[in-house]
Amino acid sequence: MTMIRYMLRRLSIGLFTLSGIVVLVFFSSRLTGSPIEAMYPDGLEPGQLELFNAKYGFDKSYAEQFVIYLKNLLRADFGESIRERRDVRTILAARSVETLKLGVRAFILSVTCGISLGVCIALKRGSFAVSVVDNVMALLFSIPNFIVAIFLMLLFSFKLKILPSQGGGGALHYIMPVACFSLGPTISIAWYVKNGVLETISQSYIRTAVAKGLGRTRIIIGYAFRNALIPVITQVGMVIVDIVTGSLVIETVFSWPGIGYTLVNAVLDRDFPVVQGIILFLASIVIMLNFALEILCMMADPRINREAAA
């Protein structure tokens, strides 16, 4: 029962955080000005402004608009896009699929390459090659992903002309966006795996395994890596967060028709319903992910169960 109370408390904190995001996004989005100015820079005919405001409820006070928004939100109604004249849920469904196509590929590549690289570095620690790899990883990790994206675009699209620079479609369109998405997370996972494995190797039970004559590779993969899973699980979960937040930049650079690219355009167009819907959607993903990570960590390490209960 103690654990159930702990999980309920964490769930209530997540719901409270989400409620604060709803309030913040609703009112802050309206501080950018009227969408009329973005959509019709030359102005409207007499009477059209009143009709527009009445249609989208802008003729009411912010408090009244917020109450109406909450009532609709409880029915899972995010409203209608001002720019596209479509239901926000329809836009979210279509653009989320495009982001998911990139995200799944980047996630698989990041986890596979990151864990493999981390274990290899731990196996070959102290060698000159590992020192070079560590320095290169540190250099690449310090470069913002949008700089990497622009460099790849200039090299492979404009100089070599072998990869498309914008949009989605064929397999070639995925190469540069997926590479930019997965570069940082791959390095992070590799470092966490390496540090976790090296820290675990120094434990007494590992020295006992060595004394029994077990091979170095078997010890690292069979014992050290498994006991270093807790920080790795956490970092793997954060890869998803990195992909979600990184979509705002990478999708915009490559004009990928995903949820990040849609959000950037919606902010520029002052399309309040789309901005509110996407941010609420992304925030829900991050909150649920953090909740799931806590459960996974508790399942992987019973000590966390005892600490949570305490």
One DSSP character per residue, 78-147 reads --B-TTT-SBHHHHHHHHHHHHHHHHHHHHHHHHHHHHHHHHHHHHTTTSHHHHHHHHHHHHHHHS-HHH
Yes or no: say if 163 and 175 are a contact pair by the CB < 8 Å rule: yes
pTM over 0.85: no
Average pLDDT over residues 134-143: 88
Is position 97 within any domain?
Answer: yes
Question: Is residue 94, in this structure, part of any structural domain at all?
Answer: yes
269 lies in which domain range? 88-309
Number of domain units in the chain: 1
Please report whether residue 28 resides in a domain: no
| % of the chain with per-residue pLDDT over 90 | 15
Residue 75 lies in a domain: no
Band of pLDDT at residue 24, cut at 50, 70 and 90:
very high
Q: DSSP letter string over 235-302?
A: HHHHHHHHHHHHHHHHHHHTT--SHHHHHHHHHHHT-HHHHHHHHHHHHHHHHHHHHHHHHHHHHH-H
Could you tell me the pLDDT band of residue 57, with boundaries at 50, 70 and 90?
confident
In a domain, 191, yes or no: yes
Structural domain contains residue 101: yes
pLDDT at 204 over 70: no
CATH number assigned to the domain comprising residue 144: 1.10.3720.10
Per the prediction, the chain carries an average pLDDT of: 81
Residue 239 counted as domain residue: yes
Decide if 155 is inside a domain.
yes
- Lowest pLDDT segment from 77-91, 93-107, 186-200, 263-277: 186-200
pLDDT of residue 224: 59
